Structure 1
Amino acid sequence: MNFPKRIFAACVGDIMHLAWTGVEYATHVEEHKNCTDCKCTPLFQQKKTERQWIFEVFDAMGKVPAGIMSGNNLWVGSWSTCRKIDVVKNAQGQKWKGQYCLATIDAYERDNPLVYFGNMMSGAPDRHCYEENARNITDDGSCFELFPVLKFGLCMPNTCTNHDVKRMLDLAVRATEAAVGTQSVCNIDVECRAESYSDALSSNGLALFALYFLISTIVLIGFGTCYDLLILTKHPEGIEDDPAYNHWFVKFILAFSLYTNGDEILTSKKNEKEINSLHGVRFLSMCWIILGHTYYYIGTSLTTDNLVPTLINFPKQFHTQIIVQAPLAVDSFFFLSGMLAAYSMFKRFLKVDKLPPLGPYNPKTWFFYYVKRYTRITPTYAVVMLFDVTLFTYISNGPFWRPIERQGCRIAWWTNFIYLNNFLLQDQECCMGWTWYLANDMQFNVVLLPILVIVFCKWGEKAGLGTSIGFIALSSLIRLVITQVNGYPPAPLLTAKLQIVHQLNDYWNDVYVRPYIRCTPFIIGILVGYYLCAWTSKDQKDLKIKFERKTVMYCWCASTVLGLYSVFGLYWFAKTGDISKPWEILYTLFGTPAYSLAIGWVVFACTTGNAGPVETVLSWRFYVPFSKTTFCAYLLHPIMLQIYNLSRPQPFHFTTFTQMLRYTVEAVFSSYIVAFFFTVAFEKPFNKIDEMLLNTKKAMGEVQENGKATEMLPLKRAADRDSD
């Protein structure tokens, strides 16, 4: 048995004080029994009251809860009770203050706790009795860290550090294992919650920088708004010709005007130069993603007292496939990004008698395009990351609280800013893991977009269509090979046997975040963008295309079937955890293309005037402000969800699908409220400053009208920032 190293003396002293106080309390109680004079009772009562706090310590400790047979491993105790303990311990006035610590105990892989909760990924506990390939089970001594055996709350003195508590627990656990003659615990982690984050914040230089940056931004917003309201609004005519107004500093200040930026976001008037139905597609897809992430973060935060039964039973219901298949919503944004970027390019290169100087074959065209795209999304991305690893770390507290980014993005932050975080350092740190989408989208725009645009422009429709289909087929084939070789499921789908839970990390790295597997919707978006341009005349002001009624009906029926197949095609697999090999191969090859084609037709039909009531619904003006703040909502909503889950004072208990919808509505509302602030305070100002510094539109020969790009650039810019 390995005894722990020395424990800090102050911690040992306070633990001994707690023990001695307990002894004194028991002694006084025993002595009080022999008290026959009523005059001695107040004295004994006073002594007993002075030592009553020891019961608060033990009351705050974790206790055996209900539902342990269903996997309730959260014995958290009371964080608030422990934090209230504050008593004088000696004549010098020193205090014994309570500090809440949460211990996480992991078992060895051979003692995987999930095997005892139904017929799941590891099979029945006695499967070695009847399965030929399971009789020779090797013990590699690894920890099963996916699902801890126990999370136990401890009320300790604030003089104890994480290491002190861990050493004491390690000693207790090893002594117990030695007594029973077994060794099951492979790892013990302890995290003690700070009494106050104000001191921790003041000692964190990066957090102070973030705080000062936020204060400076608020000051700029105040100045910009006041200048806008008090000066510009009183002199609306001819002010743009004033040299003072055109000074760079004035424009810089005005970029932060809350009045102008807020008005630009909240204006919901339909724009004839935009495809208004895309606002609805963008917002509803974002809501679908938040719905899926609400469920995902409830599970991964490990704050649910009935997590295992929930994971097993939830996929068995037909309607919950909408939630477990939420990753499909990401493809909506890949599609939109490809479509709008391609349409902008084809509109410039195909519908002209002569190519502009910076045509599709000129490297400068793509250089300016990449620079513009990078400078538009990266500053806001960097601000959210800064706040994520600093100020958001100190925003809450509680028994489950921890930093949103466990390692503070200290290792891999730079991979995010070169948009290679879906390849580099995945095994060391996943900084803002949900931003894998931005990396993929940037890679698609850097590699796929120029290739297909050049092929279409130089060799025509047949060559472009053939190349696109070839890329899609190659992507599906690569996905099939990887999933079959590694035994992955056909989709990142939660099933009753929890296969994806066991394989989540490997599936994430090998399949989910790889651009050569996720590129299909982007390519289909490019195709839709091409045909929107190619099938309309050069001087046509709108994108209306007349099709025969029979053709439209066939396309809508096919789109509906493909959409339902992509969402509900794996229902039996989700319900049972079993799938036939032909069906598995079929969905692996065609599941993602089916959804992309379905959403592609919906957008194409709405754009060309063949969608009827669907276009009316998706073009509702209500969606417009939400659509304009979707980029910030995408960056912020996982942070909001994690703050909500990790701030719980007690474990969450999952009940019904309706409960999930209610939490999703709350998550959508809170995410977009915070996103609105970030959009007016950071995204809008950064984009205006970007226009001041990098006016690449003139270099690319884009048409200007009253200082604003015509055609679909306003919507394209939003699509450039669209996200998972």
Structure 2
Amino acid sequence: MGTLGFFVFFLVLVNFNANAVLEFDKYVNILQNTDGVSQKCLDQINSLDLETKVKMFDASSKLIYPGMLHTYPVDMGIYDECIALDITKNSTRTLGKHCVFVGTNLSIPTNAVDLLKHSNNVVAKAANVNGFQKIFEIAASYCVPDQCSEKDLDILFKQYEQGGVVTFNFTKATCSTKETGKELDAWDFGFITLLAIIGCLIIINTTYDIYQDWFSLPKQNVLIAFSLYTNAQKLVHIGKSSKEQIQVFHGLKFISMMWIIAGHGFVAFQILPVINPMDVSAWKTNIYNQYITAAPLAVDTFFYISGFLLPYMYIKMFKGKDFLYQLKSVPMSFVHRYIRLTPALAMMYLSTITLMRRIGGGPIYDKNVNAFVTSCRKNALSFFFYYQNYYNYDDLCMTQTWYLSADMQMFWLSPIILLPTAYFVTKKYKAVMLSLISFSIFTVILPMIIKFIYQDYKNDYDTHSRLCNYIIGFTFGVFMRENIDKPFIFKKNKYLKNFLLWCIALGSMYVLVYLNGWIYIGNGTYAGKTVIESLMRPIWCLGLTWIVYSCFHGYGGVVNWILTRPILQFGSRLSYCMYLMHGSVIAHNVMMFRQKEIFSDWREFYLWCGYLIVTLMVALVWSLAFESPIIILEKVIFGASGKKKEHPTPPAKKTIQA
């Protein structure tokens, strides 16, 4: 078979072009044989001149393209060349319509199939028809007149099929023109109106704020809620270290957010058609690279911090108060929490279903953005009431928001243990701590039992599997609040013991990163993976516990120095809006790709840098416009912050300098 087989195969490939007279003549014939085609499509075809046909052909996929045996089996044509076509002739306007993911099957002589058996793109066990065997399934792209429907295109391209050697299927194609998605609907008008109102409030409040400050006049907080001047000052303010602020949390939150962006950036890359798909597969199974796939541990860090801060702040105010007094505060705490989280989330939701459709385009843009819009509109109720991680976990509106649902659910359930803890912690401290530790162990065992009973359980976003992170953080928060004025736990050999515990904590967390990767690759039995996955999170949280405790008492060394850098406070304050918006930033970039991408570590690193910077910029806007103002307004409405804010002692007269 050797040389002769290869020669036959080569001739077959050449003949696909030669017999079609460079394919262009065949493409022109497609546009001329119009039996059964709709009248609108026919009118446009008849109005096309040769130059337009040449451009449509040039923007379309060719049957034989470089890298068919190696690259991802997708060819996206030249999107921008196609949609730029806008021709009016004989009162008939024709737009170029770019159709991607057109199923195109290519067959070759059966006796040449063995030559390609090692190619990643070869279809296994394909049927043998008239001496030809289907060996390629290509998602091709074609440029056609905009009034030609998928049915019309199927009729037209049937003429191109050479006895079953080449077949086309437009049923799953996604088509778009330069006017696709540009029509405004009620959601768009509503979002534009809302943005205009907020923009006016920002201008008015900022002007008022600067004016009052300039002339040393008192301010009404409600009138500076949307002020960029005040909100920006709060955002960049560097707080001093105190016992009421766990400074290392700033660093942990921002670094965790950076890790999450890296992980989601890699996941997004996997959905792209790449030039080197085999390298992607090899990269994912390389244990060295599992620091990326272990990014979900960063989300566990957020759950831990959230659980810690709840009792740490609550017990200070409600310690020893009776149940009835505490119970009365629960409904309002739910309202505060909802108001705190939802406005910025709602603006993210609105931007997804409106703005996202209009700020980009590309071969895969419309299909994917429409999937976002459809999912979000369909699941609006579960999205805004924070239960979509159970109700529609397989069709989430903006996948990253599952965390907010889980965190809110934990907060709703927290009074069950928070109120008794605050009431009994002074009188029966040891009993409270023992109960919390026991409950922490229960939350570790519970998801393990569920996974053993329901082995087909597929929800990766459930709350109960992360509850242990929250409860371990909660338990340590109670411990820290009650021991806030007590010295470091060790008195003798404290530096040595501290060093050993640091080694154990960091070593364990390092091992967990690669153990998570070992599971990700698919190693181990179901039982073994279930046990490891259930124990990973509590061990991770115990490592965090020692980091926080040691740094709080001044024994964190270089780690404490890094985590308490002032710049990380700024990043930490933006972490919520960064979490909200990083998914949109990543998705927008990925959906804008026109051609196949090359995958490499360096390429991933460059993309991560871009994602991080753009996410910070978007988060800054989101925080100043939609998050910070709501915090002030909430205090005005429910608190005592609506009174006039007196200006401090007037400074020396200011002068304007050029």
| Same fold by TM-score greater than 0.5 | yes
The CA deviation at 1:304 is 3.0
Question: Does 2:212 match 1:231?
Answer: yes
Residues 53 and 173 of structure 1: is their aligned pair in 2 closer, same or farther, counting only changes over 3 Å? closer
**In structure 2, the residue corresponding to 1:100 is in which secondary structure?**
strand
- Equivalent pairs: percent with the same residue? 23
The CA deviation at 1:612 is 1.9
Kept after mapping to 2: 8 A contact 1:303/1:646: no
Query: Where in structure 2 are the equivalents of 1:322-341 lying within 5 Å?
Result: 322-341=291-310
Question: Does 2:240 match 1:270?
Answer: yes
Question: Does 2:284 match 1:315?
Answer: yes
Q: What amino acid is the match of 2:608?
A: T
Deviations 1:540-559 (Å, cap 9, x if unpaired)? 8xx87665334323321221
**In structure 2, the residue corresponding to 1:654 is in which secondary structure?**
coil
CA separation in 2, counterparts of 1:523 and 1:6?
A: 67
Kept after mapping to 2: 8 A contact 1:456/1:464: no
Kept after mapping to 2: 8 A contact 1:290/1:668: yes
Question: Which position in structure 2 is the counterpart of 1:569?
Answer: 515
Return the match for 2:448 from 456, 480, 505: 480
The CA deviation at 1:452 is 4.8
Question: Which position in structure 2 is the counterpart of 1:256?
Answer: 226
Deviations 1:88-115 (Å, cap 9, x if unpaired)? 433x4x33331222235499xxxxxxxx
Kept after mapping to 2: 8 A contact 1:62/1:153: yes
CA separation in 2, counterparts of 1:88 and 1:697?
A: 63
Q: What amino acid is the match of 2:540?
A: Y
CA separation in 2, counterparts of 1:170 and 1:323?
A: 47
Return the match for 2:387 from 409, 420, 427: 420
Q: What amino acid is the match of 1:54?
A: K
Question: Does 2:144 match 1:156?
Answer: yes
Question: Which position in structure 2 is the counterpart of 1:604?
Answer: 549
Question: Which position in structure 2 is the counterpart of 1:372?
Answer: 336
Kept after mapping to 1: 8 A contact 2:160/2:166: no
Question: Which position in structure 2 is the counterpart of 1:654?
Answer: 599
CA separation in 1, counterparts of 2:72 and 2:211?
A: 60
CA separation in 1, counterparts of 2:303 and 2:61?
A: 46
Question: Which position in structure 1 is the counterpart of 2:652?
Answer: none
Kept after mapping to 1: 8 A contact 2:280/2:599: no
Kept after mapping to 2: 8 A contact 1:310/1:654: yes
Return the match for 1:15 from 33, 38, 45: 45
Question: Which position in structure 2 is the counterpart of 1:61?
Answer: 60
Deviations 1:361-418 (Å, cap 9, x if unpaired)? 7321222221111111111111111111101211111212122614052211111111
Residues 6 and 563 of structure 1: is their aligned pair in 2 closer, same or farther, counting only changes over 3 Å? farther
**In structure 1, the residue corresponding to 2:365 is in which secondary structure?**
coil
The CA deviation at 1:581 is 6.2
Question: Which position in structure 2 is the counterpart of 1:289?
Answer: 260
Return the match for 1:188 from 171, 182, 189: 171
Deviations 1:92-141 (Å, cap 9, x if unpaired)? 4x33331222235499xxxxxxxx99999xxx969xxxxxxxxxxxxxxx
The CA deviation at 1:586 is 4.1
Q: What amino acid is the match of 1:258?
A: L
Query: Where in structure 2 are the equivalents of 1:65-464 lying within 5 Å?
Result: 65-90=65-90, 92=91, 94-105=92-103, 150-160=138-148, 164-165=149-150, 168-169=153-154, 172=157, 180=164, 188-196=171-179, 200-201=181-182, 203-236=184-217, 239=218, 245-246=219-220, 251-272=221-242, 273-300=244-271, 302-306=272-276, 308-350=277-319, 355-356=320-321, 362-402=326-366, 403=369, 405-407=372-374, 409-426=376-393, 429-448=395-414, 450-455=416-421, 457-458=423-424, 460-464=428-432
CA separation in 2, counterparts of 1:635 and 1:173?
A: 47
Residues 105 and 342 of structure 1: is their aligned pair in 2 closer, same or farther, counting only changes over 3 Å? farther
**In structure 2, the residue corresponding to 1:151 is in which secondary structure?**
strand
Deviations 1:488-539 (Å, cap 9, x if unpaired)? 7xxxxxxxxxxxxxxxxx73xx2x21111111111111111011112234xx
Residues 119 and 202 of structure 1: is their aligned pair in 2 closer, same or farther, counting only changes over 3 Å? closer
Residues 182 and 398 of structure 1: is their aligned pair in 2 closer, same or farther, counting only changes over 3 Å? closer
The CA deviation at 1:685 is 0.7
CA separation in 1, counterparts of 2:330 and 2:641?
A: 12
Kept after mapping to 1: 8 A contact 2:393/2:461: no
The CA deviation at 1:14 is 2.0
The CA deviation at 1:203 is 2.9
The CA deviation at 1:643 is 0.5
Q: What amino acid is the match of 2:507?
A: V
**In structure 1, the residue corresponding to 2:100 is in which secondary structure?**
strand
The CA deviation at 1:314 is 1.2
Question: Which position in structure 1 is the counterpart of 2:624?
Answer: 680
Question: Does 2:638 match 1:694?
Answer: yes
CA separation in 2, counterparts of 1:662 and 1:483?
A: 38
Residues 465 and 413 of structure 1: is their aligned pair in 2 closer, same or farther, counting only changes over 3 Å? same
After TM superposition, the score normalised by the length of structure 1 is 0.73
CA separation in 2, counterparts of 1:594 and 1:166?
A: 58
CA separation in 1, counterparts of 2:619 and 2:258?
A: 14
Deviations 1:412-434 (Å, cap 9, x if unpaired)? 1111111111122345x421221
Return the match for 2:609 from 642, 646, 665: 665
The CA deviation at 1:471 is 3.9
Please list every run of 5 or more consecutive structure 1 residues that lacks an aligned counterpart in the other structure. Answer: 22-50, 108-115, 127-147, 240-244, 489-505, 699-705, 708-724
Residues 153 and 55 of structure 1: is their aligned pair in 2 closer, same or farther, counting only changes over 3 Å? same
Kept after mapping to 2: 8 A contact 1:629/1:679: yes
Q: What amino acid is the match of 1:647?
A: M
Residues 173 and 473 of structure 1: is their aligned pair in 2 closer, same or farther, counting only changes over 3 Å? farther
Kept after mapping to 2: 8 A contact 1:256/1:680: yes
CA separation in 1, counterparts of 2:335 and 2:389?
A: 21
CA separation in 1, counterparts of 2:553 and 2:324?
A: 26
**In structure 2, the residue corresponding to 1:102 is in which secondary structure?**
strand
Please list every run of 5 or more consecutive structure 2 residues that lacks an aligned counterpart in the other structure. Answer: 1-34, 106-115, 126-135, 647-658
Deviations 1:615-644 (Å, cap 9, x if unpaired)? 111000011111111111110000000101
Residues 265 and 570 of structure 1: is their aligned pair in 2 closer, same or farther, counting only changes over 3 Å? closer
Kept after mapping to 2: 8 A contact 1:14/1:159: yes
